[in-house]
Chain A
Amino acid sequence: MESISTLLTTTLSAIVLSVMAIEIKRRKKKLRELYDVLDHEHRDVVHQLDRMVEQGQLKRFALFHTLPDDIES
């Protein structure tokens, strides 16, 4: 009887720990999706943005500016 009880406790603990580990992994993955670091995948994006700044297609936003008309809600 005791061995069954021990087995049950161990199994339940293992399940709880596994669920916790899975949940931690899921949340960390979500955080990495949310706060992404620039890497080689974003090379083209960075180059395009730099080019837009250099060519004057993007101007520095200052406090007196309003948002572009097509972006305001």
Chain B
Amino acid sequence: MTTKKDSTPVRKKRMRNSPKTEAQTLAIEPAAGTLPQEPYRFRIFVIDSGWKSPAAQVVRDNFSMILSFQGRDPFYVLSRKQSSNIIRQNPVLAGKDPIILVRDLVQTLDDNGEEFHGFHLNLGVLHKPNQVLDALRQFLQFLTSHRNSTNIERDIREKLHRDGWAGAIEVIRAGAQEAMSG
């Protein structure tokens, strides 16, 4: 989400008497220059540079559904310009947007001393709208059902990456289902 050009702070808007103002009081803004104190597990970002692709269309058409799954987690939508900038500066994201990036705020250090964890859904790698919708649903369901997971990367490898023998069987089953449905 971009900042508004008129830079009107949300607090001032609360003074006005309207249903929209009441809803706006639900918005949480950190004090300038500080990291927000967020008692949430995830911080979710949507990166969409604006390509007119089936994946992008599905995300835009189902945006309210995506929002409904976020729960209390802070949700940030980058503008087209912000998305293009971040993709340009980080080629690892190129060709994969729209991306839903989930930063796991649980502070654990891995072997390399990295303090961040999380995962991202790269919808740009899919080309059929029904595949995009299925992936989106699965991802959001995973997010909801694993928010209390102690090791989310392990759960992703098991449940979403289908690692291991059980995963291989699941891949075969899904492939057979696809072949039958045509």
Contacts and interface: CB of A to CB of B under 8 A. Distances in A.
B30 A54 contact: yes
Interface residues of A, number: 45
B76 to A, nearest CB: 4
B27 A59 contact: yes
A53 B24 contact: no
B67 A61 contact: yes
A44 interface: yes
Contacts of B116: 38, 43, 46
A58 B50 contact: no
A31 B125 CA distance: 10
Interface string A36-63: 1111111111101110111111111111
B156 A60 contact: no
| Chain A contact residues: helix, strand, loop or mixed | helix
B156 A35 contact: yes
B119 A37 contact: yes
A2 interface: no
Interface string B118-136: 1111110110000000010
B15 interface: no
A55 B60 CA distance: 26
A42 B162 CA distance: 22
A37 B153 contact: yes
Given A60-B28, A72-B60, A31 B162 contact: yes
Given A37-B156, A68-B77, 16 more contacts: A35-B135, A35-B160, A38-B117, A38-B120, A43-B114, A45-B86, A46-B116, A49-B45, A53-B30, A53-B76, A60-B27, A60-B75, A70-B79, A70-B81, A71-B80, A73-B56
23 contacts: A23-B175, A28-B167, A34-B123, A35-B135, A35-B156, A35-B160, A37-B153, A37-B156, A38-B101, A38-B120, A39-B114, A46-B103, A48-B90, A57-B2, A59-B1, A59-B3, A59-B29, A65-B1, A68-B80, A70-B80, A71-B79, A73-B52, A73-B56
Interface of B: 1-3, 20, 23-24, 26-30, 32-36, 43, 45, 48, 50, 52, 56-57, 60, 63, 67, 74-83, 86, 89-90, 92-93, 96, 101, 103, 112, 114, 116-123, 125-126, 135, 139, 153, 156-157, 160-163, 167-168, 171-172, 174-175
